[in-house]
Amino acid sequence: MKSAKLSFKRLIYMAALSAIVCVFSVCDPSDSDSSEDYSVSGNRITEQEYSASGAYVYFIEDTAVGIIEVYVLGAGGGGQGGDKKENIIDGNYNGTGGGGGGGAAAYMKLAVDRSSLPVTLSITVGKGGEGGGYVSKGGGTPDESGLPGSMGGSSSVRWESKSVNLSVEGGAGGGGNGTSVSGGAGGRADEASLPYGKAVYKKGKVSAGKNGANGSLKSDIMSEGGKAAELSIGSSSHFGGGNGGRRTSGGVTGAQNGGGGSGGYSNASGARGGDGMVYIILSTADGK
């Protein structure tokens, strides 16, 4: 794994040179700063994690068929805000918002021959949902929970020229209308898109994110965002599975990639969900 990452750094350096002398015979003067050229030779596996959206160009040398493995993770939903009420008759209370849901994950394996090169992939990395604000009420008013968190952003990888698209949704934000303090639903596996029927597509898999924990309208409880979906397939033994954020009496721990944000307590807002992620592995057909 370490050697693969070192090789990738070398390839990034070579890609920078290609902009001047066309090392890979793939030179597009219209490429923006977010576009990079990568070359893979032999059976070596090359890998890269993406945390920002952009268009990336891949060129696989010295092989009849190249393999591109794509792993995509949706972002986590934001946690619901806390609530508090000052009621002279019934007494004061403080409540805890629901946690956001974890993002879904998906995988696809593509076989690429020389006629398809270079391969340009458009990558979108979903942003974590924002936490909802708290709600403070006075006596004589209806009970009301904190404001719901927002949904985590979807993540996707698209190969436009082949109409190949892999996308997954993020987790839902915690909470709801009225007095709801429900945890947000995890990103749904059945909403993921796999490029069935495309010649370059070989196999794929999807996995749903976990739901966030429910809150409590009138008490202080631990709040936890849903765990991100997890996959074990292809050349990566583990992808996703980031923990949701957690709020206890000792403080707030932020969500990992794809994890839902924790709910707030009393006059505290909910926490932000973890951003999504894209992970790509390139190799020759007789490598992995």
Residues in the chain: 288
- Indicate the SS3 state at residue 190: helix
Greatest extent of the chain over all pairs of C-alpha atoms, in Å: 80
Average pLDDT over residues 146-168: 97
CA–CA dist 168, 156 (Å, integer): 6
pLDDT of residue 87: 77
Predicted pLDDT of residue 284 = 80
- The whole-number average pLDDT for the span 120-134 is 98
237 with 228: CB under 8 angstroms?
no
Instruction: Considering only CA atoms, give the Rg of the chain.
Output: 22
Q: Which of 13-22, 177-186, 229-238 has the lowest mean pLDDT?
A: 13-22
The kind and range of the H/E element at 105 are: strand 105-113
pLDDT of residue 35: 38
In 3D, which of 179, 267, 245 has the Cα closest to residue 216? 179
For residue 263, what are the domain limits? 2-284
> What's the chain's average pLDDT?
84
pLDDT range class, residue 107, cuts 50, 70, 90: very high
Assess whether pLDDT exceeds 90 at residue 285.
no
pLDDT given for residue 156 in this prediction: 98
> How many angstroms separate the Cα of 239 from the Cα of each of 230, 272, 282?
6, 21, 16
pLDDT at res. 34: 35
Instruction: Give me the half-sphere count of Cα atoms (radius 13 Å) on the Cβ side of residue 176.
Output: 12
**What average pLDDT does range 127-131 have in this prediction?**
98
CA distance 216 to 207: 29
Q: Which of 27-41, 64-78, 149-163 has the lowest mean pLDDT?
A: 27-41
User: What pLDDT is attached to residue 5?
Assistant: 33
Query: Rounded to an integer, what distance in angstroms lies between the CA atom of residue 176 and that of residue 147?
Result: 7
Tell me, what's the pLDDT at 46? 82
Residues 40 and 43: their CA atoms lie apart, in Å, by: 8
Q: Is the pLDDT of residue 262 over 80?
A: yes
Q: What is the pLDDT of residues 272-284, one digit of tens each?
A: 999 999 999 998 8
pLDDT confidence bin for 18, thresholds 50/70/90:
very low
Residue 109 has pLDDT above 50, yes or no: yes
pLDDT at 114: 82
Considering the entire predicted model, what is its pTM? 0.85
Rounded Cα gap, residues 19 and 13, in angstroms? 11
93 secondary structure, DSSP code: E
Domain count of the chain?
Answer: 1
In whole angstroms, how far apart are CA 229 and each of 158, 210, 218, 256, 271? Answer: 21, 7, 31, 12, 19
Q: Return d(Cα 97, Cα 80) in angstroms, integer.
A: 5
Query: What's the pLDDT score for residue 116?
Result: 86
Q: What does the pLDDT read at residue 63?
A: 60
| Cα–Cα distances in angstroms (integers) from residue 232 to residues 88, 107, 110, 203, 255, in the given order | 55, 9, 17, 13, 21
Residue owning tokens 């997890």: 230
pLDDT for 27 equals 27
Distance from chain centroid for Cα 17: 31
For range 97-123, the mean pLDDT: 94
Strand runs labelled E in 8-92: 37-40, 46-50, 54-60, 65-73, 83-86
pLDDT for res 20: 21
